[in-house]
């Protein structure tokens, strides 16, 4: 079936550096993608989203890039901080407002 | 705004007993609620979707007689794990959406940690 997956299970970065988390998706019919942050023992927290008719969207310190040609999604975090340490999931929304989550990437920020 | 709560935040129960988890949208009416299960170091897996006043739609492989879902009002959905077994131990997360179809955001609860001994 359709799935959303990630390339890297763990990403370790130095505080202050930029982080890039990647995601590959397979459902070409999806038109809406979301990035979530999940801290240990908590529910997912919305970070940023993007529609398929866009290739880039910026938020505060975060940028999401969408490449529909290769079905690739990335989350860029600028000036990564210790508070950014968490597991990050991409999710794909389909008809019926259902979400399919990727496998997750753990971001570890070294002080 | 768009706050979703879950109760309890954690629960320990004995094998064979039933456990009820509540999901509430505190400041909006949730037309649709979703229940997810997350095992350690894994992603969220959708268990079922429920619309207020309707029977829940379960994902393939999820036993509807074991995981009873009730969406009796626009602000409350409950998940009852019946005859729980240790393999049901997991992190259960709900989300609530004020809309249906495309365009409806999902707001997530904080999750409930279930441990079955």
CATH number of the domain residue A65 falls in: 2.60.40.10
pLDDT, position B104: 64
Residue A4 domain flag: no
Contact criterion met (CB < 8 Å) for B93 and A43: yes
Residue A30 domain flag: yes
Q: How far apart are CA B3 and CA A78, in angstroms?
A: 27
Which domain range does residue A81 map to? 10-110
Cβ atoms of B58 and B113 closer than 8 Å = no
Query: CA geometry: angle at A94 spanning A19 and B27, to 5°?
Result: 80
- What total of structural domains would you count in chain A? 1
Residues of chain A with pLDDT under 70: 1-8, 96
pLDDT band, very low/low/confident/very high, at B105 (cuts 50, 70, 90): confident
Contact criterion met (CB < 8 Å) for B108 and A100: no
Residue A95 domain flag: yes
Sheet holding A72-77, edge to edge: A4-5, A19-25, A72-77, A62-67, A56-58
Residue A88 domain flag: yes
Distance from CA of A71 to the nearest CA of B (A): 20
- Residues of A in CB contact (< 8 Å) with B are 31-32, 36, 41-46, 89, 93, 95-104
Q: Where are the beta strands (DSSP E) in A26-85?
A: 32-38, 45-51, 56-58, 62-67, 72-77
pLDDT, position B102: 45
Q: pLDDT per residue over B48-57, tens digit each?
A: 999 888 889 9
**Nearest Cα residue in chain B from A89:** B43
pLDDT, position A92: 92
Residue A44 domain flag: yes
**Dihedrals phi, psi of B68, to nearest 5 degrees:** -85, 125
Contact criterion met (CB < 8 Å) for B106 and A97: yes
Contact criterion met (CB < 8 Å) for A97 and B100: yes
- Enumerate residues 6 to 45 of chain B having a beta carbon within 8 A of any beta carbon in chain A: 6, 32, 34, 42-45
- Please count the other Cβ atoms lying within 10 Å of the Cβ belonging to residue B51: 16
Write out chain B residues lying below 8 Å of A103, CB-based.
42-43
Q: pLDDT per residue over B39-98, tens digit each?
A: 988 999 999 999 888 889 999 999 999 999 999 899 999 999 999 999 999 999 999 998
Residue B18 tokens read as: 């039933």
Closest CA to B49 of B117, B8, B86, B104: B104
Q: Is B106 on the interface with A (CB under 8 A)?
A: yes
Closest CA to B86 of B10, B15, B2, B8: B15
Q: Which of B32, B43, B107 sits opposite A89 (nearest CB)?
A: B43
Instruction: Please give the interface size between A and B, counted as residue pairs whose CB atoms are below 8 Å apart.
Output: 56
pLDDT, position B79: 97
């Amino acid at each position: 079936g359709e799935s959303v997956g990630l390339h890297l299970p763990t990403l370790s970065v130095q505080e202050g550096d930029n982080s890039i988390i990647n995601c590959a998706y397979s459902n070409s019919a999806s038109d809406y993608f979301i990035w979530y942050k999940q801290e240990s023992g908590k529910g997912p927290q919305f970070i940023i989203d993007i529609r398929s008719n866009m290739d880039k969207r910026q938020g505060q310190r975060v940028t999401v890039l969408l490449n529909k040609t290769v079905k690739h999604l990335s989350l860029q975090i600028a000036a990564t901080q210790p508070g950014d340490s968490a597991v990050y999931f991409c999710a794909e929304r389909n008809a019926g407002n259902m979400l399919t989550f990727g496998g997750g990437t753990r971001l570890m920020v070294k002080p | 705004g768009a706050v979703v709560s879950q109760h309890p935040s954690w629960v320990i129960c004995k094998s064979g007993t039933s456990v009820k988890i509540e999901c509430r949208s505190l400041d909006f009416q949730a037309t649709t609620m979703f229940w997810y299960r997350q095992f350690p170091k894994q992603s969220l897996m959708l268990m079922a979707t429920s619309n207020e006043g309707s029977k829940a739609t379960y994902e393939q492989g999820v036993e509807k007689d074991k995981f009873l879902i009730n969406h009796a009002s626009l602000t409350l959905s409950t998940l009852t794990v019946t005859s729980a077994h240790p393999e049901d131990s997991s992190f259960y997360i709900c989300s609530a959406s004020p809309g249906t179809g495309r365009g409806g955001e999902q707001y997530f609860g904080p999750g409930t940690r279930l441990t079955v001994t």
